[in-house]
Structure 1
């Protein structure tokens, strides 16, 4: 009788042990720094190129980012800067290959047509990259804060969203009706950012 009673109990304990012992798989490492970083000038601003992207730059548009937190972080800061300073001859290609299609992209393009930028960014307005922080990561979309510094030593954080679209990380511009501030001035950097400080 003892054997018939203890056998189910033993099996139950064994299954419980297997369930507890397996453990959850570790999540993505959001604070891992890109590897193989080198700096390449674009419109007077030093941008990082790393093992995680971009893999290709054609007509000013940077594409080919790794499907990982590091790829998302690099894409966020790369697309943000290139979109801001792309000259008249390249901005359309940057928009088409670096942004998620939609009303926000269309509105940005309509506004850009009314401007003209033919040379490098004016030094006093050109940002220096300091790093980024991923505040939310999912395989299909991530929120990334991009930190920059300006010539007057002021600092800012740009709250960006990148989406995995067409096999690459693309910047998703805020909805035209959104009231959320995309950029905030800051006094100090968070201690846990992924540092990507451009050379002076």
Structure 2
């Protein structure tokens, strides 16, 4: 599936179970957590002015990070396709339970640089939701030299 020009994965088994108003409904499995992490990041970055409130409601866990994101998002306009998007190329699950998960996503930036960053998830309302850090606790990308230790990912898989 492509969202605003960014390839995003989906799975018949792990989600999303629903695609409207935004993709949501991921299985309680580690695979569901990975799909929710990637799709949540893409939706947060690309949701247009009509859908960003739905992203907040369906994909983000309540808390101060979500509140700060919504406040900042309300001040900008987003619409259209992303013309040279970063690509998700790998992942690793560093923590997993029935109620929470920590997924580290590896991304290839348009210039070829590889970076990784953590995505915290919480299981709420029968789906995974992203737990956003506050602006003062946000983690920056970490440059990585290779995908060693990551499960390599192709956006074509699972479609």
Provide the TM-score with structure 2 as the length reference. 0.90
Runs of 4+ in 1 over 6 A off after TM superposition: none
Tell me if the contact between 1:135 and 1:143 (Cα under 8 Å) persists in the aligned partners: yes
User: Distance in 1 between the 2:54 and 2:106 partners?
Assistant: 25
For residues 64-102 of structure 1, the C-alpha deviation after alignment (integer angstroms, 9 at most, x for no partner) is: 111111111111111112111212221111111000011
Bigger RCO of structures 1 and 2 (CA < 8 A, at least 6 apart): 2
Supply the distance in 1 between the matched residues of 2:43 and 2:90 (Cα, whole angstroms).
16
Structure 1 partner of 2:105: 146
Unaligned runs of 5+ in 1: 1-39
Correspondence for 1:170 among 129, 132, 144: 129
Q: Which has the larger radius of gyration?
A: 1
CA RMSD, aligned part only? Answer: 1.4
Q: Which runs of 5+ in 2 are unaligned?
A: none
CA contact (8 A) 1:77 1:132 kept: no
Looking at structure 2, the residues matched to 112 and 130 of structure 1 have their Cα atoms a distance apart, in angstroms, of 27
| C-alpha contact (below 8 Å) 1:103/1:176 kept by paired residues | no
User: What does 1:101-120 align with in structure 2 at a 5 Å threshold?
Assistant: 101-120=62-81
TM-score normalised over the length of structure 1? 0.73
Aligned length: 155
The structure that is helix-richer by fraction is 1
Question: What is the aligned counterpart of 1:183 among 136, 141, 149?
Answer: 141
